């Protein structure tokens, strides 16, 4: 207990000193060298220069001159994104170099990094702290960074520390602020990894742009065996910050994602690192001449980033001395291009200095043969199992004299619905005896996957992924429509084998469509998210007619409903070329569906462009369509239920039976991370065989959340209990309701029954965290359609029932989620010296809090009249009412605009042309615009007078210039605009400016002028 008490009372600086001391001798051996004397940016540059010279002594006769080193500084300072930094550090084939023209006329390439020397050779590892950073943006404070890890003198890992009883999120917020203030620039532009550390919580994430900063991508490290988070900072240091692991994490285990317009760096998760290491160890020990080809398989649950893991494995394996080629094998021809594109995006060489990269796809069998038999830089190939099988089956095929590593994607399908793909895989293996095989799957088949690929190399189950907050759990409903037959046989339930009453009943379709429409607002979180409906009938009958029956019913229902309640529905299935009895009907239905789609989106697809239609439909479902016009619901038979990734899809409707791996794959379409408050879980709604399908679901989750996959025969209740405890299935409504009531009571106690924030900063931090918890819970509650007793409920349709159940009134909720929440945001913004928009507290409301602008205008007019008549006591009370109304405005910008206007009326800075003041909304808006303009002119005129610009620029010209300004940016001198204004004032500012300005020297005037200009420009922008 004494030790804990010591840690809790330890200052941040003491914690920092302890961390640095530990880093210098992790594991009892010399590790990072502490450079206590380095405290400034200039000293960092000087240190880097010495190391650069030391590592390139053979190319340099003497230390670099100022001119020579300025070329180096220019290259590094020109890096303007973490992605560019990653490319620079990787260089070409793992060697990062900078080109320098020496003073003696020689042209040399100086090596900065060599990937082959991780943890060895000339690589220098140093730790520095308390680096002073002068402000980059005027008006922002100078900064001092906590701990920085340098490799060869360049900052690679930034650690921000918070003492005990503080949250790692605070350290993340701090680094986000540094990014906003452009502090990760010049020598700090090379940063790759950001670490937020407290004594009991550590998160790490890849460096990122401000626009893409997302705390959801800050991860805990995990132990290797049980995938449990590591919370001890010393354990984290041992496993992650030791050498060479820290260097590996920042290089070998970083992904350069070159996806067009979304360039970024990604750092691998612990389970991805562990899996990659295990495959590489297996490859290293593998004897391509004698072993049986079965390296093993990786079981990583759907949605956990298998593409990144398999790419890194392919990339690192392709550089191993005993591997000639790596072939990434996909099981569908349609996936070849998609996978090749993903791989190419991750290729650090592609696109850097004009290089084409090492990843190639295969246009046809001849192309595959050429790329396999000729030496080339492209030693990673992406092809389909079908193409590879046809290639080795040709009469002209000759065995290849090459060691080939096969990486098989979605390996559960290669164990095939058994025969076809399995036969192909075996034929390839026999034809290429010098090959090794590793499979990647989210849903292995037991025992088939093991029999084909060998033993399990690494597992990361759905239970672990949910606990790790890498994917979401599920809220699952089982709905009764028509009465199901009593005591059905296993065959009757399984629509892969038999048809059932659900397949034929028009009433069933009617009730499903009604349920989807009735609960759309709740399940989609007020239309923020979209959905899939999968339909399948039994007895080997075609399912597309039933899918079209649904489509027609939705169209019919849309016609009956007002525009705001209609759903944009699409349907996707393949052209039928089977010459079966169903072919004509299927293709006619598809043609009809495409025509309806064209009518909805203004497209022009037909039966000759079905592939393009399907791709366009997928883009409108995953919300990547260029025109921003998206689908609400897509009806499918089997398409899009595997491999389809859409973070803004949150609901799956199921009118079929699913079991085992297929169930997990389908459910997992809904559980991609997006916004944790708005999308707390994936929603799944089942419409047939409720009791039996609930058992199938719980059994599937039990199997795929258990590494041992011991499919014990547990009861439904036992299975359900385990799955809820694991976080796979959402808690019952009553549990979430009780948790919400507890948080609401806690907030009531902290805020004196929603009247005021507590005075202490510590208590305000508790309110902040409790409001975030309130958001999460209320968002969950609003997406339930019924309580535990199956009574329907809706925060949208019957908010008064929700308020009653939770023990809070609508007025109290408004005070809590608008007035107090906004006051808390303002205080946080002032304390952290950031703009209010950067405070991460977007409130969720039980019932939408809508501002009544008519009422607001009436209140403003009432206050204006009271001020005009000098009834200031009454005016003050009216102003308090106005402030409450203004807090209901969602936009920070608009809220500020109204507040400024009301303040100007209250202080008599603004007066209306006549009284009583107008109560017409349009007239009030015009008055607000005039008040803003008048205020701006006053600011501009005062600025011109203060700074002696009377002979340089007019207020209107200055106003025009500021219209191009963006808040918080130093963007007004790109073409020398500010410099021109200052130069024009140089001759006479000392005569006509305000006394304190006139006393400034020219150099000081220029510095102070810029600071004052941006402060004034931001003030104007704030009010607009």
Give 752-791 pLDDT, tens digit per residue. Answer: 999 999 999 889 989 998 998 999 899 899 889 989 888 8
Answer for the pair 849, 817: CB distance below 8 angstroms, yes or no: yes
User: Which range, of 237-246, 287-296, 452-461, 658-667, averages the lowest pLDDT?
Assistant: 287-296
Residue 578: the pLDDT is 62
Instruction: Place 257 in a pLDDT band, splitting at 50, 70 and 90.
Output: confident
Tokens of 411: 């390996």
Q: What is the pLDDT of residues 917-969, one digit of tens each?
A: 888 888 888 888 888 887 888 888 889 999 998 888 888 888 888 887 877 77
Q: What is the mean pLDDT of residues 667-674?
A: 90
Residue 419: the pLDDT is 41
Residue 555: the pLDDT is 96
Q: Report the number of secondary-structure helices (H) and strands (E) in the chain.
A: 41, 23
Supply the mean pLDDT for the chain. Answer: 86
Residue 416: the pLDDT is 44
Q: Is the pLDDT of residue 367 over 50?
A: yes
Instruction: Place 341 in a pLDDT band, splitting at 50, 70 and 90.
Output: low
Residue 417: the pLDDT is 40
Q: Whole-angstrom Cα distance, residue 932 to residue 938?
A: 10
Q: Which residue has the higher pLDDT, 407 or 585?
A: 407
Residue 827: the pLDDT is 86
β-pair partners for 684: 476, 652
Q: What is the mean pLDDT of residues 440-460?
A: 89
> Nearest Cα to 696, choosing from 723, 734, 727, 669?
723
β-pair partners for 95: 92, 114
Residue 336: the pLDDT is 47
Tokens of 390: 């046809």
Q: What is the mean pLDDT of residues 412-441?
A: 74
Backbone angles phi, psi at 655, to 5 degrees: -120, 70
Tokens of 356: 């084409």
Residue 624: the pLDDT is 81
Tokens of 91: 């260089």
The helix or strand, by DSSP H or E, that contains position 204, with its residue range, turns out to be: strand 201-206
User: Which range, of 215-219, 267-271, 841-845, 1004-1008, averages the lowest pLDDT?
Assistant: 841-845
* Number of C-beta neighbours around residue 392 at 10 A: 17
Tokens of 413: 């399908």
Q: What is the mean pLDDT of residues 315-342?
A: 73
Q: What is the mean pLDDT of residues 163-180?
A: 86
Answer for the pair 818, 849: CB distance below 8 angstroms, yes or no: yes
Q: What is the mean pLDDT of residues 104-130?
A: 90
Q: Is 13 helix (H, G, I), strand (E, B) or coil?
A: helix
User: Which range, of 220-224, 510-514, 619-623, 909-913, averages the lowest pLDDT?
Assistant: 909-913
Residue 359: the pLDDT is 55
Q: Is the pLDDT of residue 421 over 60?
A: no
Residue 379: the pLDDT is 82
Pairing of the two strands 435-441 and 633-636: unpaired
Q: What is the pLDDT of residues 153-170, one digit of tens each?
A: 999 999 999 887 678 888
Answer for the pair 777, 736: CB distance below 8 angstroms, yes or no: yes
Q: Is the pLDDT of residue 358 over 90?
A: no
Q: Which residue has the higher pLDDT, 935 or 711?
A: 935
* Relative orientation angle of helices 821-832 and 761-782, to the nearest 10 degrees: 130
Q: Is the pLDDT of residue 150 over 90?
A: yes
Answer for the pair 550, 513: CB distance below 8 angstroms, yes or no: yes
Residue 698: the pLDDT is 92
Q: Whole-angstrom Cα distance, residue 459 to residue 447?
A: 15
Q: Which residues contact 608 (CB under 8 A, 6 or more apart)?
A: none
Q: Among residues of the chain, what percentage have pLDDT more than 70?
A: 91
Q: What is the pLDDT of residues 627-657, one digit of tens each?
A: 889 999 999 998 888 878 888 999 999 999 9
C-alpha gyration radius of the chain? 32
- Record the pTM: 0.77
Q: Is the pLDDT of residue 352 over 50?
A: no
Q: Whole-angstrom Cα distance, residue 747 to residue 568?
A: 40
Q: Which residue has the higher pLDDT, 426 or 188?
A: 188
Q: Is 895 helix (H, G, I), strand (E, B) or coil?
A: helix
Residue 842: the pLDDT is 77
Per-residue burial over 885-898, b if 16 or more Cβ lie within 10 Å, else e, is bbbbbeebeebbbb
Residue 413: the pLDDT is 61
Residue at token pair 């899939």: 532
Residue 227: the pLDDT is 78
Residue 713: the pLDDT is 58
Q: What is the mean pLDDT of residues 998-1019?
A: 88
């Amino acid at each position: 207990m004494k030790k804990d008490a010591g840690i809790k009372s330890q200052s941040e600086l003491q914690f920092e000193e302890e961390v640095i001391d530990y880093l210098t001798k992790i594991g009892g051996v010399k590790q990072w060298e502490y450079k206590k004397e380095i405290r400034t940016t200039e000293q960092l540059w000087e240190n880097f220069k010495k190391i650069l010279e030391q590592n390139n002594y053979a190319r340099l006769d003497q230390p670099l001159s100022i001119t020579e080193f300025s070329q180096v500084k220019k290259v590094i300072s020109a890096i303007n994104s973490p992605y560019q930094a990653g490319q620079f550090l990787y260089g070409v084939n793992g060697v990062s170099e900078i080109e320098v023209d020496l003073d003696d006329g020689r042209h040399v390439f100086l090596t900065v990094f060599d990937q082959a020397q991780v943890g060895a050779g000339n690589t220098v590892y140093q730790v520095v702290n308390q680096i002073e950073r002068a402000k980059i943006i005027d008006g922002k404070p100078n900064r001092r960074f906590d701990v920085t890890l340098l490799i060869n003198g360049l900052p690679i890992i930034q650690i921000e520390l918070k003492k005990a009883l503080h949250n790692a999120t605070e350290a993340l917020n701090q680094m986000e602020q540094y990014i906003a203030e452009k502090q990760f620039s010049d020598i700090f532009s090379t940063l790759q990894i950001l670490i937020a550390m407290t004594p009991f919580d550590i998160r790490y994430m890849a460096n990122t742009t401000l626009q893409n900063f997302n705390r959801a991508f800050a991860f805990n490290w995990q132990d290797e065996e049980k995938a449990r988070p590591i919370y001890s900072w010393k354990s984290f240091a041992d496993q992650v910050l030791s050498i060479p692991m820290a260097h590996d994490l920042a290089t070998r285990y970083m992904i350069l994602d070159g996806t067009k317009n979304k360039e970024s760096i990604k750092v691998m998760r612990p389970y991805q690192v562990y899996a990659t290491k295990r495959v590489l160890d297996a490859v290293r020990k593998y004897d391509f001449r004698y072993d049986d080809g079965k390296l093993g398989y990786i079981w990583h649950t759907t949605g956990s980033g298998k593409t990144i893991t398999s790419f890194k494995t392919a990339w690192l394996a392709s550089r191993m001395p005993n591997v000639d080629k790596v072939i990434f094998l996909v099981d569908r021809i349609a996936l070849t291009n998609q996978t090749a594109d993903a791989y190419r995006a991750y290729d650090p060489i592609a696109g850097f200095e004009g290089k084409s990269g090492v990843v190639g796809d295969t246009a046809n069998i001849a192309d595959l043969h050429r790329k396999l038999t000729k030496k080339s830089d492209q030693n990673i190939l992406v092809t389909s199992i079908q193409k590879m099988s046809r290639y080795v089956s040709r009469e002209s095929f000759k065995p290849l004299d090459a060691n080939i590593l096969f990486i098989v994607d979605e390996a559960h399908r290669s164990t095939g619905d058994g025969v076809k793909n399995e036969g192909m895989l075996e034929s390839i293996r026999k034809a290429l005896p010098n090959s090794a095989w590793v499979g990647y799957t989210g849903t292995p088949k037991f025992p088939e996957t093991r029999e084909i690929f060998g033993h399990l190399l690494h597992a990361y189950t759905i239970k672990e992924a949910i606990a790790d907050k890498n994917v979401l759990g599920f809220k699952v409903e089982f709905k009764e429509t028509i009465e199901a037959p009593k005591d059905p046989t296993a065959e009757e339930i399984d629509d892969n084998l038999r048809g059932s009453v659900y397949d034929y009943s028009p009433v069933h379709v009617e009730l499903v469509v009604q349920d989807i429409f009735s609960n759309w607002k709740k399940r989609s979180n007020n239309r923020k998210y979209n959905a899939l409906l999968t339909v399948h009938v039994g007895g080997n009958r075609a399912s597309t007619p039933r899918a079209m029956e649904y489509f027609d019913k939705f169209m019919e229902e849309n016609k009956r409903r007002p525009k705001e309640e209609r759903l944009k529905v699409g349907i996707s299935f393949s052209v039928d070329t089977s010459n079966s009895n169903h072919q004509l009907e299927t293709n006619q239905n598809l043609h009809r569906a495409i025509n309806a789609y064209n009518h909805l989106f203004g497209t022009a697809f037909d039966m000759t462009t079905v592939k393009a239609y399907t791709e366009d439909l997928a883009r409108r479902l995953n919300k990547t369509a260029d025109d921003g016009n998206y689908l609400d619901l897509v009806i499918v038979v089997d398409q899009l239920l595997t491999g389809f990734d859409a973070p803004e899809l949150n609901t799956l409707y199921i009118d079929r039976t699913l079991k085992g791996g297929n169930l997990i794959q389908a459910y997992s379409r809904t559980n991609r991370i997006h916004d944790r408050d708005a999308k707390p879980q994936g929603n799944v709604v089942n419409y047939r065989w409720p009791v039996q399908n609930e058992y199938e679901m719980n059994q599937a989750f039990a199997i795929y959340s258990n590494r041992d996959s011991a499919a014990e025969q547990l009861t439904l209740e036992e299975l359900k209990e385990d799955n809820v405890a694991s976080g796979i299935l959402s808690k019952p409504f009553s549990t979430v309701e009780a948790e919400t009531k507890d948080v609401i009571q806690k907030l009531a106690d902290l805020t004196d029954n929603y009247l005021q924030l507590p005075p202490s900063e510590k208590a305000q931090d508790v309110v902040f965290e409790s409001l975030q918890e309130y958001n999460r819970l209320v968002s969950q509650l609003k997406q339930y359609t019924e309580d535990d007793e199956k009574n329907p409920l809706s925060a949208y349709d019957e908010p008064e029932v929700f308020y009653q159940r939770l023990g809070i009134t609508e007025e109290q909720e408004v005070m809590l989620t608008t007035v107090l929440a906004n006051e808390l945001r303002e205080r946080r913004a002032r304390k952290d010296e950031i703009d209010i928009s950067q405070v991460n507290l977007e409130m969720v409301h039980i019932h939408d809090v809508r501002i009544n602008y008519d009422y607001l205008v009436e209140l403003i007019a009432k206050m204006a009249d009271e001020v005009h008549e000098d009834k200031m006591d009454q005016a003050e009370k009216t102003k308090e009412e106005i402030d409450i109304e203004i807090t209901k405005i969602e936009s920070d910008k608009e809220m500020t605009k109204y507040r400024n206007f009301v303040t100007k009326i209250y202080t008599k800075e603004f007066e209306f042309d006549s009284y009583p003041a107008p109560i017409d909304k349009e007239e009030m808006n015009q008055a607000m615009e005039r008040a803003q303009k008048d205020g701006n002119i006053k600011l501009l005129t005062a600025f011109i007078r203060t700074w002696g610009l009377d002979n340089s620029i007019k207020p209107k010209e200055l106003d025009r210039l500021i219209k191009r300004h963006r808040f918080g940016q130093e963007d007004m001198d790109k073409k020398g605009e500010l410099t021109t204004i200052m130069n024009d004032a140089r001759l006479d500012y000392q005569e006509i400016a305000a006394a304190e300005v006139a006393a400034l020297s020219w150099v000081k005037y220029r510095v102070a002028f810029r600071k004052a200009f941006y402060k004034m420009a931001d003030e104007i922008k704030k009010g607009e």
